[in-house]
Structure 1
Amino acid sequence: MPIIHYHAEIRLLVSVRGHPFDRTAFDAIFQDMEGVSATMVDQPAAARLMNLEDMQDFDALVLYDMPGLDFEDPLKKPGFVDPDPALVKGFEALLQEGKGIVALHHSLAGWPTWPEYGDWLGGRFLYRQDVVHGKRTLDSGYAHDVDYVARNVAPDHPVMRDIPESFPICDELYLAEIFEPDVTPLLRSGHDFIAENFYSATAALNERMYDNENWVHPPGSDLIGWAKKALNSRLVYLQPGDSSKAYENPHYRKILRNAIDWVTCRT
């Protein structure tokens, strides 16, 4: 196994941009974490740091970005952008080394033309129809400001330490492609993941917000948080995290801190 050298203070590279968010409120999550130093870098500059040399002073990578999508393409919404070969090589090298990854919310939509990226994260949010694991798949769904109950389904896992059996939260949910056989489930939602409760991502891009007419997406997974191995790295994905309503939830903050500790092998 790779040898990882740890700093006394957990140093995070936080990759952002590609999706609107409250930067100040999001940054406050990490500022309030004792023993954590977070450096927020916007895409595409962040991608240039995702390699062994530039990540050597960071203990983990937090993905709160949505790269690989061009929403200004007049012919296709969105247009897809391929990752730079240097990023593909560098990111895989980080996973081979064992660098910890915490992926949040809209990161599930990143790099749609890079299949391994979605496999490493454990799922994909699709802005338009695509082929996923050999199957033609409809665009994904979204639902903003959903009040739901999150259920801790892995109370013995370090990421879910000191988290109650269930807790209320208000946030955006996705009806997306979740690769459940490849992950360790941590958190599920009590919401019904059926087309009637979500809106088409493609319709929204075509200026039909909150539209699911003639959108016949099959029922999806209620899994909203998981842990997995991505090559030699520990990785945690948390679907909550769209807005300050989630940022300020104490249980969400605790899960995120636990995830950071786990992917950096502090627990």
Structure 2
Amino acid sequence: MKKVAILLVIFGITFGCKVQELPKFYKNDASAGYYISDKKGATKIAVTGGSGSHNFKKFFGEVDGKVLSENGRNTVIFTEDPNEMDVLIPVVDVLMLTNNQPLNAKAKQAIFSKVNAGKLNMLIYHPSTWYNWEDWPEYNKQLVGGGSRSHEELQEFEVTVVKPNHPIMKGVPSKFRIIDELYRWEKDADAEIEVLAISKGLKSGEEYPSVWIVKHPKAKIIGNTLGHDERAHELGAYRTILKNSLEWVK
């Protein structure tokens, strides 16, 4: 029996389940958004970017990736290649979507298959909370809980925490100001969400959800519209929300 168990591990099989391992070509390189942990059982996180209007690699890959790595506790892989998602989705525990470029059919299917099986939790940030893909309506309806079609101009606005006792809001100021794009995000009529923070335009006075939980029967999913401007990624409140969000979905 012992020899059988050893052989199963060698061939990457444990009681019929494939051992989740990253391909060997990913190496530690913060400038590429690769933070590889050598800790046993480290949480594996894929961060996706790509298309226009953002420096995805610099801010979502490098800056946010450093926060997500938690000083080497977790492995973080950033990619702007939709085809690379086919490799990453099957072997990660958390998927952080920040892209506004189209995904291929295999990636779309892999996301929904793994989420619906309760084997993938998600952080859906800024560009990916938009209504980006008319040919993929189930994404916004089931995973994002809604979407944005417009935003206010880049300027300072105020964020208010409306669920201060939720773990994702731990250590976050009850109100803080941020220079960013205020997304006019709207909930889908059929979605069930829990709003944790709202943003208010200082000039317009209009309010919209900025951080929320999508109620999914199998997975933990957090939406967050913040993150367009580099000053947002450098803000302590933004980083605290990101760190807390990861801890909540792990």
TM exceeds 0.5? Answer: yes
The answer on whether the counterparts of 1:190 and 1:222 sit within 8 Å (CA) in structure 2 is: yes
1:241 and 1:46, CA in 2 relative to 1: closer, same or farther beyond 3 A? farther
Greater RCO, 1 or 2 (C-alpha within 8 Å, sep 6+): 1
Pick from 123, 129, 145 the counterpart of residue 102 of structure 1. Answer: 123
In 2: Cα distance, 1:191 partner to 1:153 partner? 16
For 2:80, the equivalent position in structure 1 comes to 42
How well do the aligned residues superpose, as a CA RMSD in angstroms?
A: 2.7
For 1:59, the equivalent position in structure 2 comes to 93
- Confirm whether residue 187 of structure 1 aligns to residue 197 of structure 2: yes
User: Please, what TM-score do these two structures have when normalized by structure 1?
Assistant: 0.68
Q: Shift in Å at residue 59 of structure 1?
A: 1.6
User: Please, what TM-score do these two structures have when normalized by structure 2?
Assistant: 0.73
Identity among equivalent positions (%) equals 21
Three-state SS of the structure 2 residue aligned to 1:167 is: strand
In 2: Cα distance, 1:255 partner to 1:166 partner? 13
The structure having more radius of gyration, on CA atoms, is 2
Three-state SS of the structure 1 residue aligned to 2:82 is: coil
In 1: Cα distance, 2:129 partner to 2:59 partner? 21
Q: Which moved more, 1:153-162 or 1:232-241?
A: 153-162
In 1: Cα distance, 2:63 partner to 2:185 partner? 28
- Deviation digits for residues 137-171 of structure 1, max 9, x if unmatched? xxx32223221111111112111111121111111
1:25 and 1:89, CA in 2 relative to 1: closer, same or farther beyond 3 A? closer
The answer on whether the counterparts of 1:224 and 1:238 sit within 8 Å (CA) in structure 2 is: yes
For 2:134, the equivalent position in structure 1 comes to 112
1:25 and 1:47, CA in 2 relative to 1: closer, same or farther beyond 3 A? closer
- Total equivalences in the alignment: 205
- Confirm whether residue 242 of structure 1 aligns to residue 228 of structure 2: yes
1:235 and 1:46, CA in 2 relative to 1: closer, same or farther beyond 3 A? farther
In 1: Cα distance, 2:185 partner to 2:192 partner? 15
Q: Tell me, which stretches of 5 or more residues in structure 1 are unaligned?
A: 69-82, 126-139, 198-218
1:223 and 1:236, CA in 2 relative to 1: closer, same or farther beyond 3 A? same
Q: Tell me, which stretches of 5 or more residues in structure 2 are unaligned?
A: 1-16, 21-39
- Confirm whether residue 261 of structure 1 aligns to residue 247 of structure 2: yes
In 1: Cα distance, 2:208 partner to 2:126 partner? 14
The correspondence of residues 86-235 of structure 1 with structure 2, limited to 5 A, is 86-98=106-118, 99-109=120-130, 110-119=132-141, 120-125=143-148, 140-179=149-188, 182-191=192-201, 197=204, 222-235=208-221
1:177 and 1:47, CA in 2 relative to 1: closer, same or farther beyond 3 A? farther
